[in-house]
A and B are shown apart, each in its own frame.
Chain A
């Protein structure tokens, strides 16, 4: 079946512009995550959605970052007034069920990412 998809695959923008990144999770997956990965760095957690619960926004680096998940499926990550340090690959992942808690063993399936370059 179809995996996680993200669009656009690449985005080049000018400093100060707003950008929207889209994620389509695997059908039926209730959990959705956003991460970013800067060059040569590990994955940095940004935000987590689980069903209809309030999202966990604890990883968002500033109030310029926000995300929505409409209808429990598609998610959009918005970055306002982009800065050069926002340049990174933004990865979305989904998993099949509630995956928090110390013994969680649910696999996260990643999309191909959106490579954002802020000039």
Chain B
């Protein structure tokens, strides 16, 4: 099982639609979770952190289910400017030596259509 897995996409949705992205992670000891956004041929940028209680930032809602090792991102009222690749990111342990690093999923591409 890959460390961080995401819906492969692409998601093509009309403006104003609600779209949800899912992500699963394999390391049950992971404690920190994030969604990054990457525009075409650009660098990734932090969209939002994901907290256990779930958190909302405007049209974006992130949720975490530790029991299922599952993270989600919901975008309401999609805008053309939301078109990008959304990367699920998990802080994971590696090398069995108490070291941690961010592990990035391959991303889900979203295209919002006029």
A binding-site residues for B, Cβ under 8 Å: 35, 40-43, 45, 48, 56, 58-59, 91, 100-105, 107-108, 110-113
Contacts and interface: CB of A to CB of B under 8 A. Distances in A.
A103 B32 CA distance: 5
A102 B101 contact: no
Secondary structure of the A side of the interface?
loop
A41 B106 contact: yes
A113 B55 CA distance: 30
Interface in B96-114: 99-107
3 A-B pairs with least C-beta separation: A110-B43, A42-B106, A102-B31
Nearest to A48: B101
Given A42-B107, A102-B93, A112 B43 contact: yes
B36 to A, nearest CB: 9
Given A58-B94, A58-B95, A102 B100 contact: yes
A100 B101 contact: yes
Given A111-B43, A112-B42, A45 B102 contact: yes
Contact of A108 (B94, B99, B102): B102
Interface in B13-67: 29-32, 42-46, 49
